[in-house]
Amino acid sequence: MPEGHTIHRLAADHRDLFAGRPVRASSPQGKFADGAALIDGRVFETAEAHGKHLFLGFAGTGWVHVHLGLFGKYTLGGGQAPPPTETVRLRLASPDAHADLRGPTACALITDAEKQAVHDRLGPDPLRPEHDGEAAYARVSRSRSSVAALLMDQKVVAGVGNVYRAEVLFRHGVDPYRAGRDLTRAEWDAIWADLVELMREGVRNNRIDTVRPEHTPEAMGRPPRVDDHGGEVYVYRRAGMPCHVCGDAIRTAGLAARNLFWCPECQRA
């Protein structure tokens, strides 16, 4: 699940469920037992996201810094918490809401200064209204690295993962292997603006949809389809399948230990 839109949605959901109220905290799994003990009973003040990092603020104790990594998952909602299972790293609970965190890469109590250090090493986040694509373009336009690698670099853009990377490059007809410095300013501005829109929609719907109305199966006169990760996409995990736009086979290749997907016809070098 976790690209930036997931984390911003989790921040909003935490605010809705807990903000301004004392919460019970526990670590059924045990790996965050000390931290949970320190926040147990404290007032949950706010939650904030920057890229794929989630910060949960507690009165008088600082922040819980959560990074889901590849496997981390939250289950949360109103109502009584289900019986905890042994993989729950952190459970927050109020009389009428609960949030269970499993499998995160990071779950730690940090200070304001440590939180600031995280912000400082991250690039601009398309989902933070005070950020824009300027600093990102400054890096991209100076780099010989591929635009595919740059989009995944959290120092360049915070919050983009493997799905948004593949999809935004498809939507702009950009070959993933093009060097960052060969992108025009106009191309970058369009990519950034598109990320803002796509990721905001991702937060609203809690899933990634990238297919334009004119390319839906209905509009193209093709049978309906279902992507196995819950959203409608052009290329992500569609290797060997026909491109929704041109019909060519979607290609895949490894790039820095991740799978890259693109349409060689729609994204010409």
Query: Annotated catalytic sites, by residue?
Result: 2-3, 52, 258
Region of residue 78 (left: phi > 0; alpha: psi -120 to 50; beta: else): beta
Q: Which stretch binds DNA (CB under 7 A): 35-43, 123-131, 132-140, 253-261?
A: 253-261
In the complex, least distance from residue 143 CB atom to DNA, rounded to whole angstroms: 16
Token pair listed for 126: 């398309």
- Considering only residues 198 to 217 of the shown chain, the ones binding DNA according to CB under 7 A are 208
Residues 49 and 9: their CA atoms lie apart, in Å, by: 9
Q: How many CA atoms lie within 13 A of 157 on its CB side?
A: 31
- In sequence order, which residues have a C-beta less than 8 Å from that of residue 86 and are 6 or more positions away? 28, 29
**Which of 52/128 has CB closer to DNA?**
52
Contact between 71 and DNA by CB under 7 A: the answer reads: yes
| Interaction mask 75-114, DNA, x per CB under 7 A | ----------x-x-x------------xxxx---------
Cα–Cα distance list, 98 to 70, 91, 207 (Å): 22, 7, 21
Nearer to DNA, 82 or 247 (CB): 82
CA 21 from centroid of its chain's CA atoms? 27
162 near DNA (CB under 7 A):
yes
Binding footprint of DNA on the chain (CB under 7 A): 1-3, 6, 29, 51-52, 67-73, 85, 87, 89, 102-105, 152, 154, 161-163, 208, 229-230, 237, 256-259
